[in-house]
Amino acid sequence: MPVGVYGDQVLPRLIDKLMDNGDIRKLRLQALAGVSGVVLEIGFGSGLNVPLYPAEVTKLYAVDPATIGRKLAAERIGQSNLPVEFIGLDGEDLPLADESIDNAVSSFTLCTIPDESRALREIYRVLRPGGSLHFVEHGLSPDAGVTKWQHRIEPFNRKLFGGCHLTRAHDDALLAAGFVIDRLDKSYTKGPKPYTFHYIGTARKPLPSA
């Protein structure tokens, strides 16, 4: 998935600064609780999740379209014992075998990826049965007044933040892709409401029927 100079060089540096604070870190930790084994992270970015992963994670496959993220992540990876392997640029086309990943992670990525449904189907494909997608995303608010503003400002937001949508209902997309939602917290955090309604939880690939 090609990106321009702004998307590849400027935006990752901006996000690295904006998304590295105590409040966002708490949301990330909430989403990462219980993740283990061989993990796929789409939208790896500058590796802000790396120091937050539980010790039970044994390997991380990282996917991100902005190559500058690897340079920004180098120090975090170097300070961690977690093996990180960069495997591609596109979360909609994962270079992994079917059912080869224990768990997956998406943080502030499903809002931005061009085709959320396709990305979720790819994650579902590579997950082992019983494996889960751990996620924290901002998305569509249930409040009509906030939703109105989300739709109003979304075109500008997409241009400024690399295609970021404010109006995606991630729980609906997860269910449509075949996941079973085991845990979901939908609530506002600090900041302007159109930007701060978050979906945080886990969605599981079911085991085959007996």
Walk me through the domains of the chain, giving residue ranges and CATH numbers.
5-204 (3.40.50.150)
10 Å CB burial of residue 194 (0-12, 13-18, 19+) is buried
Contact call for residues 87 and 61 (beta carbons, < 8 A): yes
Tell me the pTM.
Answer: 0.92
Read off the pLDDT of residues 102-149 as tens digits, 9 standing for 90 and up.
999 999 999 999 999 999 999 999 999 999 999 999 999 999 999 999
Read off the pLDDT of residues 159-177 as tens digits, 9 standing for 90 and up.
888 889 999 999 999 999 9
* Strand duo 101-107 + 57-63: pairing: unpaired
The pLDDT score that the predictor gives to residue 2 is 44
Read off the pLDDT of residues 92-103 as tens digits, 9 standing for 90 and up.
999 999 999 999
For residue 155 the two structure tokens come to 């075109």
**Strand, coil or helix: what is 186?**
strand
The pLDDT score that the predictor gives to residue 156 is 92
pLDDT at 178 over 80: yes
The owner of tokens 């596109």 is 90
The pLDDT score that the predictor gives to residue 19 is 85
Read off the pLDDT of residues 180-198 as tens digits, 9 standing for 90 and up.
999 999 999 999 999 999 9
Pairwise CA distance, residues 198 & 58, whole Å: 28
Read off the pLDDT of residues 29-57 as tens digits, 9 standing for 90 and up.
999 999 999 999 999 989 999 999 999 99
The pLDDT score that the predictor gives to residue 51 is 95
For residue 200 the two structure tokens come to 């945080």
The pLDDT score that the predictor gives to residue 17 is 80
Pairwise CA distance, residues 164 & 111, whole Å: 5
Pairwise CA distance, residues 110 & 20, whole Å: 18
